[in-house]
Amino acid sequence: MTTPHPNIEIAHQMIDCVTRGDVDGVERLYHDDIRVWRNVDDRELVKRQALKVVQILSTLDGLEYADVRIEASDSGFVQQHVLRCTGPKGDEVRVPSCIIARLEGGQILRIDEYADSAAMAPLMG
């Protein structure tokens, strides 16, 4: 049995923490100087703001990551997935996404997130 690349392990830990609503766990994975850029609003979030997003995600019914594909890179990982949940109106929401993460010292220093903005619209209120 091969041991997964440490960068892939961090990606799996992040998915696990987010789906369980473990904001403290995500906080431990995030570097203090993390920046999270999102294509849906062209904003760059600092750690406090990024953790608030995780907190909001934890309130979504049936939150799961589906069709997850993760590739390690020298500096981090690239993750493709479909974020699935039940929307506020009871409909199934499926948001195809890709994140490019850069790590430093075993923590996530930067995330560039590309999500289907039309698919995400039901969650944006």
Task: Return the closest-CA partner of residue 61 out of 26, 30, 21.
Answer: 21
Q: What average pLDDT does this structure show over 106-121?
A: 94
Q: Which domains are seen in the chain, by residue range?
A: 6-123 (3.10.450.50)
pLDDT greater than 90 at residue 19: yes
Can you give the pLDDT at residue 102? Answer: 98
Can you give the pLDDT at residue 4? Answer: 80
Q: In which region does residue 42 sit, left (phi positive, over 0), alpha (psi from -120 to 50) or beta (all else)?
A: left
Reported as a single tens digit per residue, the pLDDT across 28-84 is 999 999 999 999 999 999 999 999 999 998 889 999 999 999 999 999 999 999 999
Can you give the pLDDT at residue 125? Answer: 62
Mean pLDDT over the full length of the chain: 94
Share of the chain above pLDDT 70, in %: 97
The burial of 10, by beta-carbon neighbours within 10 Å (0-12 exposed, 13-18 middle, 19 or more buried), is given as buried
Can you give the pLDDT at residue 1? Answer: 62
- Give this prediction's pTM: 0.92
